[in-house]
Structure 1
Amino acid sequence: MTDTAAPTTDPIRLARDLLACPSVTPEEGGALAYLDDVLSAAGFEVHRMVFSEEGTPDVENLYARIGSGTPHLTFAGHTDVVPVGDAAHWSHDPFAGTIVDGVLFGRGAVDMKGGIAAFLAAALRFLERTGDSFAGSISFLITGDEEGPAVNGTRKLLDWCTARGEAFDAAIVGEPTNPQTLGDAIKIGRRGSLSATLTVTGTQGHAAYQHLADNPIPGIVRLVDALIGEPLDGGTEHFQPSNLEVTSIDVGNSAFNVIPARATARFNIRFNDTWTAEHLKAWLSEKLDAAAGNSIRYDLVFEPAVSDVFRTEATDLIRTLSDAIAEVTGRRPELSTNGGTSDARFIKDVCPVVEFGLVGQTMHQVDERVPTADLDRLSAIYERFLDGFFATANGNGR
């Protein structure tokens, strides 16, 4: 762990220190303690809290703020990472922060300790330059379970902030958003997500005496076919088409001569602004009832974690970030809503939010890695954004 008495503003050094923390969900791994040290030394008021819920692991989170005025920009992200898999398959120790030929290796390099390091460095440089003239507020909203169930993290951290009277004017989530090159895309929204388990009940019996049993497998096949038989929609102006993906079909049967008692199918729907979750639930029931008729006994159970579709329309926020990206990279980013979900789905309920971070090609992979030049450039983009965001808010333009 580095000496944080005088916090470094080097994003590469910050990223390497964070990568050295084995913070695999839900373990804190020293990552939040490290951020606590750096942010406290820079004058931030830092809070660390553990949230709990039955059936899920306890998770530690961090909230840090400097300044008391407006506007208030929060940078949101997560220090937890997915497991490394077989470490023997990595070219370098996944928690060593090794740099080879200008590339930094480590679990979380892209998703998303690199993004946190870049924003942290940018914020520290910005505060050093502005000094006492800075009249707004900057905060960090960092969770430890984005890669896990996302129950004891950002949602509860936002509730904690609201109870304290914290108000946010805008947020940037530092998730990797760029498909190929830094500056390709800003995420300005996300499709919604709805998951469910479909169960067809039959009667167990001997395969040779099928008339004494009721095989649920043809029933589950018929119902699944009804759900995937035609597209949900053709997409909208701002979102790609919705899609329903069957992720498993199971009967739990290891015997060749036994007809099983039940069959289950799990599926996930990523839906655009054609739909709401309630609209989708009604559509699913209608389709399944029609396919089941009077011959298939089924049950449909929805997972409680539903993500709503959203799109950010804060033009000043988007324009200021786009301008900063163009100044550093020379390209104007696409405004995208593609991809999966992120903690932006919670933040959008308290303030306008956009996502911008590193290139995501190696996230969750063996040898996850990022060019050190991208860390420097991302940090420069964030610093330019801070200049523009607070200047615009103060009526100074850019």
Structure 2
Amino acid sequence: MSIHPENRLRRDIGSFGAAFLVLNGLIGAGIFALPGKVAVNAGLLSPWLFLVVGALFLSVVLVFAELASYYEETGGPVLYATEAFGPLAGFGTGWLLFLSRTTAFAANATVMASYLGSLFDVLAGELPRMVIIATVIIGLTWANVLGVRDGVRAMGVFTLLKAAPLVILVLLGFQHVSGSTLLPSASLLVEDLGSTTLLMIYAFVGFETVGVTAGETSQPRRTLPKVLVATVLTIGILYFLIVLVFVSVIEPADYANATLVDVGRSLAGTTGAFVITFAAVFSIGGNLAGSMLAAPRLGYSLAENRQLPVWFAHVHPRYATPDRCIMVMGVLALGLALSGSFVKLAVASSVARLLSYIICIASLPSIRRNASESVRQSAYRLKGGYLIPCMGLVICFWLLMQSKAESWLAVSILLVIGFVFYAFERRFGLTERS
């Protein structure tokens, strides 16, 4: 299969757009609820635990930064796995990530409806909830069909509206931070370290989104690695400051049930609670916008590489966007969000994502070896040989060991379904084109 020259995606994503993708992929609903859950087990060590986990997980991010520096095409993890291990591995990786992003998109849409319902009583019923979900999903779907610039603009608005209240919360709460809170004398032991770390890692996944849109990014081989590392580092520091304010403002007895909304209420009364709740809504909105921009490109990349029917590789003749993949994701997410049947898939999505990380990290040696001399010289090459990739693999495997059997079962079923589609396309699709 070949894509016609006129059906090419436009490189309308610059450095800021790429940074918005990483930021919105990472900051969703998690940071508004995670601090209390982590603090129950880690107490005053929570801020430092966030920082340590983020630093360790940076080994995975750095591998993706190098991988991104070898490619200018759309697909990200799909391309990495395909080049190293063949089309079957590439399809499996892309399929897992597409399902993971779509189910998470559906889940976050319902959470946004719940937050809006808590803000306004008129939006609290079942019918308003369905209307909110439909409006958000259809609106983001249409905005992304109209053009990648509109999708990036939507992310920019959401980024400002969710980041500004978080920064204000840190600035207001810093007056409550004491020396004993910043450098606690508490024991370095953390209760249930495995599950606590697995919970925290959810705040750091989603960065891989940026590699998927390389085909629409200006100078992606130079832009993406720098943006990826810089944005993840910035977000890790922001997480540290947010959790530091949380443990400084909230009493230990209230950790279990407290969220950042409670921190806002403690700092600025009802207005503070309202502002943070509003920030949560836009945080989820930004995450949704990033998912809708990136995930359809996975389907497009799979179709472009003859791993899904060519129908999915269609690019809108006027807007130069993968319109059919965008609409398919929108319809699927809408159905999942309204039916609620996506819950178990959303739980399994974390396992799917970690599996895709492992495949991508393992692909690095082959990609390094096969890159042309000119590409190799300009690549974002990691220092220390394979030390950092090995650290990333160990972390991913250790996290997978913390997962439950039901998640593995769900992922296995989804993989089988995906491979049936793949086999059908390879057998009959190629026959029709030959």
Q: Please tell me the TM-score bracket, short chain as reference.
A: under 0.3
Structure (1/2) with the larger strand percentage:
1
Using the size of structure 2 for normalisation, the TM-score is 0.25
Instruction: Indicate the structure (1 or 2) with the bigger Cα radius of gyration.
Output: 1
Using the size of structure 1 for normalisation, the TM-score is 0.26
Greater RCO (CA < 8 Å, at least 6 residues apart) = 2
Structure (1/2) with the larger helix percentage:
2
